Structure 1
């Protein structure tokens, strides 16, 4: 029997997709980092590192920490660090 564990990125990705589907009353009143911390055992610094990279590469939009939009999140973290994101693809 093989046991597989999700990576920290996969956990964060999953929670971001859940958060964006929450009712406005919830998603407009909790920051993405707090939502993920409330639903996982990941550290704040680890979550912030991934969110920062996703935001700088144009995969997510945050306004004062509130998730406002998701644009084609990569399935795996290695894709996240191997290219510059959707923003750079528009310039090609």
Structure 2
């Protein structure tokens, strides 16, 4: 017959091993989660950037995508212009 002390020690050892195994699994899953979150972040940023680029390209016209970049750069170099009732796009000096 097994003594209660031996059985208790066996169970304690088994529980400690299970705890350590679960901690290793959590560490591995945490690493995988970090990698997956980074990939998701990159994809969200890419989608937002592409949406911005495509929206601005549609505004500037598909044949002149460089006008978008020029317009954005020029708009940072000068104060904003007041709203004009008959707005016809970016100033022709940059396009």
Same fold (TM over 0.5): no
Q: Which has the higher helix share?
A: 2
TM-score scaled to structure 2, two decimals? 0.27
Identify, as 1 or 2, the structure richer in strand: 1
What is the TM-score normalised by the length of structure 1? 0.28
